[in-house]
Amino acid sequence: MESDSVTSSRRTVEEIFKDFSARRSGIVRALTHDVDDFYSRCDPEKDNLCLYGLPNDSWEVNLPAEEVPPEIPEPALGINFARDGMNRRDWLSLIAVHSDSWLLSVAFYLGARLNRNDRKRLFSMINELPTVYEVVSGKVQMKDRPGTDSTSKSRNSVKRSSEPQTRNPAKNEAYDDDDEEEERETCGACGGNYNANEFWIMCDACERWFHGKCVKITPAKADSIKHYKCPSCSSSKKGRT
């Protein structure tokens, strides 16, 4: 289990948000792209298990910490016991809700020394991200931008430019609706919102968008890809062969 030494030093809002985002990303991955692996680790025959999101964007299913009180707040205990007694989607959604509560608990535990304004700013930053439940339940989904013809879609499906001037509503009011749509787009891996300053790539199979860093695709690598398939679609294809 990780050791955080949370009480040893005061953290900034940015440091806490970075920790929150990384832990959230790991949990989202466990409940979506790594769901089969996650499911298999939650054996109802084992003791109380917890789902932990880690500060390095990964996740683990493990027993609760032995020390009392623990280094950081504990996630929901015994997530494995209900695995075979519930609909799989409902089970995952329930874990997602508990994970959202845990992530907030950890964030504000780490921010125990923040003042009122910093706590407000931290919550505002957190609130800009979709909840784990919204991602897992499908309430937050990728949407194609309106008015995109087949030519532009083909061009953008390889990679979305990281240069912000590729779409500037201040120069052309006709793009206003498109920009609002882009702001609602979220990464199919971590659930993070679209940001024109980040490199994104679209899967030609499921047509979902992903942060390049989340699927380990760089702009240079994208230039050599004719038809990109995300890890989930690639795994599905292998499973059928």
> pLDDT tens, 138-193?
877 534 333 333 333 333 444 443 333 222 323 334 444 444 444 457 888 888 87
**How many Cβ atoms from other residues are within 10 Å of residue 207's Cβ?**
15
- For residue 179, the model assigns a pLDDT of 46
The pLDDT mean for the chain works out to: 78
Distances (CA, A) of 42 to 38, 91, 132, 174, 189: 7, 11, 19, 50, 21
Q: Provide the whole-model pTM.
A: 0.59
Per-residue pLDDT, averaged over 5-18, amounts to 79
- Which domains, ranges and CATH numbers included, belong to the chain? 13-137 (no CATH), 150-240 (3.30.40.10)
Categorise residue 101: left if φ over 0, alpha if ψ from -120 to 50, beta otherwise: alpha
Cβ-based neighbours of 78, under 8 Å, separated by 6 or more: 48, 49
Q: How far is residue 59's CA from residue 52's CA, in Å, rounded to a whole number? A: 6
- For residue 184, the model assigns a pLDDT of 55
Q: How far is residue 129's CA from residue 121's CA, in Å, rounded to a whole number? A: 14
- For residue 157, the model assigns a pLDDT of 42
- For residue 51, the model assigns a pLDDT of 97
Cis peptide before 169 (omega within 30 of 0): no
User: Is 8's pLDDT higher than 70?
Assistant: no
- For residue 173, the model assigns a pLDDT of 40
Per-residue pLDDT, averaged over 7-35, amounts to 91
The label of the residue with tokens 């508990």 reads 98
* pLDDT tier at 12, thresholds 50, 70, 90: very high
- For residue 121, the model assigns a pLDDT of 94
- Higher-pLDDT residue of 33 and 238 is 33
* pLDDT tier at 234, thresholds 50, 70, 90: confident
- Higher-pLDDT residue of 200 and 56 is 56
Report how far Cα 81 is from the mean position of its chain's Cα atoms.
Answer: 25
Q: How far is residue 61's CA from residue 165's CA, in Å, rounded to a whole number? A: 43
- Higher-pLDDT residue of 144 and 95 is 95
Q: Which residues pair with 193 in a beta bridge?
A: 186
Radius of gyration for the chain, computed over Cα atoms and rounded to the nearest angstrom: 20
Distances (CA, A) of 172 to 155, 160, 168: 20, 19, 7
**221-229 own/partner pairs: CB under 8 Å, 24+ apart:** 222/158, 222/159, 223/158, 223/159, 225/158, 226/158, 228/157, 228/158, 228/201, 228/202, 228/203, 228/204, 229/203, 229/204, 229/205
Tokens of 89: 């989607």
Cite the beta strand spans of the chain per DSSP E: 50-53, 59-62, 200-202, 209-211
- Higher-pLDDT residue of 149 and 22 is 22
User: Is 235's pLDDT higher than 80?
Assistant: no
